[in-house]
Chain A
């Protein structure tokens, strides 16, 4: 019994860490897809870029870990604005097929670029000593880094929710998600709103990619390998929602960890089955508006 409880704690803890990372990476995708209806399969590219920026900044320029995280956020956000203005914006009205193809093209380019710049190895983040080792809590040892990861992500989520629920910018975003044309007609500059939101979402993905480099290892095929999970978080959670993806991400994180822990022979099987079941039951996701 004690052994079972202890394994339950293990699964919940590691599942939460994984789920938090998935959420920080995917939430931007959910909001931008909800805002513009743009099928952006290349979202994982931003997360990967964040991971590489952190590692390169620390390895090559001797930047400290916190500053590296900040850089990952800022640089990815800035880069995404350029991409959005130059390329994405041409395809808002182009239909899903064009968007799917275009973003797959971006993935191919990003994968190749990552290989050329960083080689094909999985890179490891040189963690600072204060995040290594174990952290004692309620008579158990937890890996210190994952404790930090959960706490830090929780703070990020808190700030994000406050921003969307309580600020003027958040109100505009919510209005635009609910009804874009109407929001525009009452004077909200949805175009600019979208660019800002896109940058913020991509920046978060970059931050998530950097933070989660231990769990989702940083290597060139990253955008392909983890795309399915990011998309599942968004589709299952519901487009344009903040809360939906949060529960979806935790659900996936805990289920995935539980499967690895108890029934590794089934792999990710249950996650995909659950995804299909949820989408058939509620095609617009758990928290999406059913059309």
Chain B
């Protein structure tokens, strides 16, 4: 069945195909991503990220080994569908590694399957802390929301006295809320109000109006990266919160690099904590941006999601290389726990062997104009942050 009658087969990279020998060994990698629905841009950024990696690094595979991607679309935060797709990828397509996944609910739904099927699952985005504890076959190459919001809370408590929290009502939002609140109150700050906004929300204005009426020093917000973030920024501007002296901060999701042009000058001065900015001047990042622009056009910008996809694919190439193309699930997980990359576009990263979660730098950034364009400019670094939630659990 492996070679017969599979309708949706996607072979990637003509170059890869040409390089392969007749006795080629094919490794099947399942990708569950979001290509349709209101969040399709996010899936697109991830797709471009790992495909760029594959194109640039074809030579890094052992000779005779090629990769076949089996790509599926979950259409947004759609756990039912994601689980169904994962089951089909396992039972019908017999994939050896699973990757992708933008949204936490999807990852949570898939997690138990990866344990039962002993399927290594490399997460490219979904950032709720608890996910990696749900199966020993999960490793994460993106971030956790605690990683950015907890230090951000601590930082904010030194500058502001009162904060209002507005987050999307799903697991990553709850994590951001908890992380920021803990960091902020530990530093002596006071939360004057909080609200959870429905994930599929049409209008942010009433929520932001309430935030304004509570008169905090700062509004902390997490909204899924993309258009929603632009909309909440607009609500912030339309209601005149900035004019009333209320600052706007959050994890990097609220000022993603690709949305900044849509936000306009409203976003100037917004402070975020994140692990990646396209404006960063590290050599690895400069090379990455150059490759990206060469491939996808001068106007196109990668985001932190693209980098997550890039790094996850780098780890996949690494485990394939180390095993010479013969994927064994337990060996793969043992290898990935040793994974380190001092030269990721986002700076040095590593996988924490204890939690299989990523260790990386977090950067404080402010939206400023650089050469006439808005950019997230890094001004302070928190080096090699482990997921604080898991560290606090240990205590």
Contacts and interface: CB of A to CB of B under 8 A. Distances in A.
A, B: real partners: yes
Interface residues on B, range: 20 to 34
Given A120-B40, A124-B262, A225-B200, A260 B207 contact: yes
B153 to A, nearest CB: 22
B38 A121 contact: yes
B195 A264 contact: yes
Interface stretch (A23-31, A102-110, A213-221): A213-221
Interface string B181-200: 00000000000000111101
Contacts of A261: 206-207, 209-210
Contacts of A11: 206
A3 interface: yes
Contact of A10 (B37, B209, B231, B262): B209
Given A10-B213, A261-B210, A124 B38 contact: no
Interface string A254-271: 000100110011010000
Interface residues of A, number: 34
B205 A7 contact: no
A18 interface: yes
A215 B202 contact: yes
Interface string A152-187: 000000000000000000000000000000000000
Contacts of A133: 238, 240
A132 interface: yes
B340 to A, nearest CB: 37
Interface in A4-23: 6-7, 10-11, 14, 18
A261 B234 CA distance: 18
Contacts of A257: 206
B240 A217 contact: no
B239 interface: yes
A14 B196 CA distance: 19
B40 A119 contact: yes
A134 B38 contact: no
A143 B38 contact: no
Contact of B198 (A120, A121, A134, A267): A267
A115 interface: yes
Interface string B223-255: 000011011001000111001000000000000
Interface in A175-220: 214-217, 219
A134 B234 CA distance: 12
A52 interface: no
Given A119-B40, A121-B38, A3 B262 contact: no
B202 A264 contact: no
Contact of B231 (A124, A264, A267): A124
A85 to B, nearest CB: 33
A215 B203 contact: yes
Contacts of B37: 120
B196 A143 contact: no
B373 interface: no
A7 B206 contact: no
Contacts of B40: 119-121
B255 to A, nearest CB: 16
B240 A122 contact: no
A145 interface: yes
A141 B210 contact: no
A217 B227 CA distance: 11
Nearest to B239: A143
A164 to B, nearest CB: 30
Interface of A: 3, 6-7, 10-11, 14, 18, 115, 119-122, 124, 132-134, 141, 143, 145-146, 214-217, 219, 221, 225-226, 257, 260-261, 264-265, 267
